[in-house]
Chain A
Amino acid sequence: MISPDGVESAVDGNGASDSEPLLDVQDLKKYFPVHGGILGRSVDQVRAVDGVSFRLKRGETLGLVGESGCGKSTTGRAILRLIEPTGGRVLFDGQDLKELDRAQLGAFRRRAQIVFQDPYGSLNPRMTVGSMLAEVLKVHGLGETGVDRLARVHELLEMVGLHTEHTGRFPHEFSGGQRQRIGIARALAVEPEFIVCDEPVSALDVSVQAQVINLLRDLQRDLGLTYLFIAHDLAVVEYMSDRVAVMYLGKIVEMAAAQELYKNPRHPYTRALLSAAPRRDPRAGPVRKRIRLSGDVPSPIRPPSGCPFYARCPHPGKDEECRRLAPLLVEKAPSHLAACCKDPMPTDGA
C-alpha cells in the first residue's frame, strides 16, 4: 500500500507517460516563510505546495480542484516561475525551468501563459485594450511596425469574440465576461502552447461563464493548446478537463481521467467533495447521499504528520496507521492514483 520508493512510483503511474509530456512536474514544493516576533524573523513556514507531481501531454487539459488554501493556485504560479519554487523540478518540453537564465525565461514566457481569476484586478485601468495588447507584442518582439501590431491586436480581439472597435476602450467600459476575454486575448498574444487558467470563470455569472468556457474549449481545439485548469467548481472542471487532480493541504490526493474520477472516486476527500457540491443540473435526478465533513481544513503551517486528511476523514476504517503515516500517491487502478491506504469507502446509495 505504501510504496517504499515514494515519489518515483508516483510519477510513473500518472497516465500520461505514453508520449513525451509537454510539462513534467516532479515533487514541486513551495513554502512561504511566516514572520513573527519583534525582529520579524522567519519563525515557521506555510507548506502551500508540498510535493506535487504530474505530467501533461500536448493538447491535454488537467483540471486541478480543491478548496481555498489547498495550494492549487500556488502550484500554477510556481510552475510558471511567477513565484520561485522551494523544491522539485519542472520540465517544460524536456527543459528544466530552474536552469533558465533571464533571456531564456523570456523565451519560455512566450510559450507558457496564464489567465487570472479576477478580470477586474488583472487589467491596467489606465491603458486601452489596444495598447495593453500591443505592449505584450512589443515586449516579446513580435511585429515589426506599429501597423503590424495593430493588425495583430484586431486579430486577437476577433479571436476571443470581441470587435475591432473595442481597441481604443478602457477596461472599465467592459463587462466582467468581456474583460475575461481581454485577459484571454492577452495570454494568446504571444501564441503560447501552454496556458495556466487560474479560476478563469469563478467571478462570472452563470450565463457568461458558459460563454467563456465555450471560448476556452474552441481555442484549445483550434490552436492545439495545453491547459492546466484550476478551479474549485467541480462541474466546470469535469466539463473542461481530460484528467483531474484533487488537491488537499498542498498535496495531490487523487488523480484520474475526469470521467473515472467522478464515477469512481477512491479517496474519501474526493467522495466528500463530490457529495457536498449542490447538484448543478437540478434535473439530473435524486440527490446523492451526502458525506458530511466536520470541521475545517487544518493549518498548512504545521500540517498533521500522518495523512493530512486524517482529522476530517469520514472513512469507517481509518486507524492508527493513517494518523502516523502519510500515504503516498500510488496507482490503485490503471491510470487512477490515490493517496489513501484504505480500500475505497462503501458506496451507500451514491
Chain B
Amino acid sequence: MPLLEVTDLRTYFTTDAGVARAVDGVSLQLEAGETLGIVGESGCGKTVMALSILGLIPSPPGEIVAGSSIRFNGEELLEVKPARLREIRGNEISMIFQEPMTSLNPVLTVGHQIEEVLRLHRGLKRREARAAGVALLAEVGISEPDQRYDSYPHQMSGGMLQRIMIAIALSCEPRLLIADEPTTALDVTIQAQILDLLVSLQQKHGMALLLITHDLGVVAEVCDRVVVMYGGQVVETGTTEEILSHPKHPYTQGLLASLPGIGDRDVRLNPIPGTVPSAVDWPEGCRFRDRCSFAWERCAESEPDLLPVVAGASRSARCWLVHPDESSIDRAGKPT
C-alpha cells in the first residue's frame, strides 16, 4: 500500500472570471521513504495540489470536487473529522514553504515557535520542549543553537530561516514532508546546503519527500521519480533518469530545450512558444496543443488520457503522439 495515494483530485476555485480548474484530475502515488518531484511552471496547479493534501484550501472560494480521493496510509483525508486532520498535519504530514521569511511569526522568537509545536503535538513540558528544540536546531545545522533559540526571525538570514522551518516541520518526525519550492528564494550556495540537509534528514528519518519545484536541476539531484504537471493535470511521470534523458511528452521536451546548458553558447535556445493558458479557460482537447509543434486535429477533438508508455510500465504520458492507437476517451459522466 502506498503511503500517499491521490486519485482523480480536482480542486476548483470560483472566481469573477469563472470556475478556475486549478487541479483537474491529478492521480499520483508515493511510497514510504521515496522522493517524488512535482515539476511545472507557475499556474500548473502544483502548489494547490499540495495544499489540497493538507486540507488547506480555503472554502469558499475553493472546493475539492466530489469523486476526488486522497488516501494517506490508508485513511481517506477528504473524509476525516477536522480534529483528526489537525492531528495528521504536523504529526504525520508536514510542509515547508517557499518563503521562510514570511512563514514565521516576526514578533515571536524562533524558539517560541518551535516549542509551540513540540508542546502541542508531542505534549512536552516547557523545559523538555526547550531541550528538544535546541537539539532540533543543532540537527538542522544551526551553529550556537542555544543562543539562536532566543533570536527573532529578522535577526537571521534566509538560509537559516529555512533551516528553522525544516526543524519545525521535522519536530514531530512526520512520515511525509511536502516541500514547496524550498530553495527558490535562496542563493545557490545556500540552496545546495538546504538540499543536502533535506536529503540527509530524509535518509536518517526514513520519511517520504514530496518536492515541488520548477527547477529541473534540483529534481535531477534529489528525486527518485518525477511527475510533470501542466494545465492542472499530470502530463508525464517516470523515474528521474527516464524523464530527463528520454522525455516523451512534447511539454517535457520543451522544458528541457529551454534550459541554457553549460557550454553551448552558439546553439539557440528552443523555447516553448506562447504562454500557459488560464485555469478558467483550458483549451478543449489537449491543454498543451496551442503551444505544441506536433499538434494535429485529433489533439483538438479529444483529450488524451494519462496512459503507460508501454503496457505495464510505471512510466506514463498524456499525449496522442505516444498513444496513437488509443481510441478517444469518453469523458462523459466525469465532473467538469
Asked whether any CB of chain B lies closer than 8 Å to the CB of A162, the reply is no
Give the docked Cα–Cα distance between A211 and B271 (Å): 5
Whether the Cβ atoms of B258 and A280 lie closer than 8 Å is no
- The count of A-to-B residue pairs whose CB atoms sit within 8 angstroms is 127
Taking CB atoms, residues of chain B closer than 8 Å to A296 are 157, 159-160, 190
Give the docked Cα–Cα distance between A67 and B190 (Å): 10
Whether the Cβ atoms of A290 and B192 lie closer than 8 Å is yes
Give the docked Cα–Cα distance between A284 and B261 (Å): 8
Taking CB atoms, residues of chain B closer than 8 Å to A295 are 143
Interface-side segment among B52-60, B89-97, B104-112, B209-217:
B209-217
Asked whether any CB of chain A lies closer than 8 Å to the CB of B272, the reply is yes
Whether the Cβ atoms of B259 and A262 lie closer than 8 Å is no
Q: Which of A231-289 contact B (CB under 8 A)?
A: 232, 234-236, 238-239, 258-259, 262, 272-273, 275-284, 287
Question: Lowest 5 CB-CB distances: which A-B pairs, in order?
Answer: A278-B217, A210-B271, A281-B261, A282-B220, A239-B260
Q: Shortest CB–CB separation between residue B165 and chain A, in angstroms? A: 16
Whether the Cβ atoms of B187 and A68 lie closer than 8 Å is yes
Whether the Cβ atoms of B275 and A239 lie closer than 8 Å is no
Whether the Cβ atoms of A259 and B263 lie closer than 8 Å is yes
Give the docked Cα–Cα distance between A277 and B256 (Å): 17
Tell me how many residues of A have a C-beta within 8 Å of chain B. 43
Task: Jot down 13 A-B pairs with beta carbons below 8 A, ordered by A.
Answer: A206-B216, A206-B259, A209-B271, A210-B260, A210-B269, A210-B271, A217-B268, A238-B265, A278-B195, A278-B215, A279-B220, A282-B245, A296-B160
Taking CB atoms, residues of chain A closer than 8 Å to B259 are 206, 210, 235, 280-281
Whether the Cβ atoms of B220 and A232 lie closer than 8 Å is no
Taken residue by residue from 177 to 221, chain A's Cβ proximity to chain B (1 for < 8 Å, 0 otherwise) reads as: 110000000000000000000000000011111110110010000
Whether the Cβ atoms of B258 and A207 lie closer than 8 Å is yes
Whether the Cβ atoms of A283 and B256 lie closer than 8 Å is yes
Tell me the B residues contacting A by CB distance below 8 Å. Answer: 41-42, 143, 157, 159-160, 187-193, 195-196, 214-221, 240, 244-245, 254-265, 268-273, 275-276
Taken residue by residue from 309 to 328, chain A's Cβ proximity to chain B (1 for < 8 Å, 0 otherwise) reads as: 00000000000000000000
Describe A's contact surface by its main secondary structure: helix
Nearest A residue to B39 via CB reads A206
Asked whether any CB of chain B lies closer than 8 Å to the CB of A175, the reply is yes
Q: Shortest CB–CB separation between residue B216 and chain A, in angstroms? A: 6
Taking CB atoms, residues of chain A closer than 8 Å to B265 are 238-239, 258-259
Give the docked Cα–Cα distance between A232 and B187 (Å): 8
Q: Shortest CB–CB separation between residue B220 and chain A, in angstroms? A: 4
Whether the Cβ atoms of B262 and A280 lie closer than 8 Å is yes
Whether the Cβ atoms of A206 and B261 lie closer than 8 Å is no
Nearest B residue to A212 via CB reads B271
Given A279-B221, A296-B160, residue A210 in contact with residue B216 (CB < 8 A): no
Asked whether any CB of chain B lies closer than 8 Å to the CB of A292, the reply is yes
Asked whether any CB of chain B lies closer than 8 Å to the CB of A293, the reply is yes
Give the docked Cα–Cα distance between A295 and B187 (Å): 12
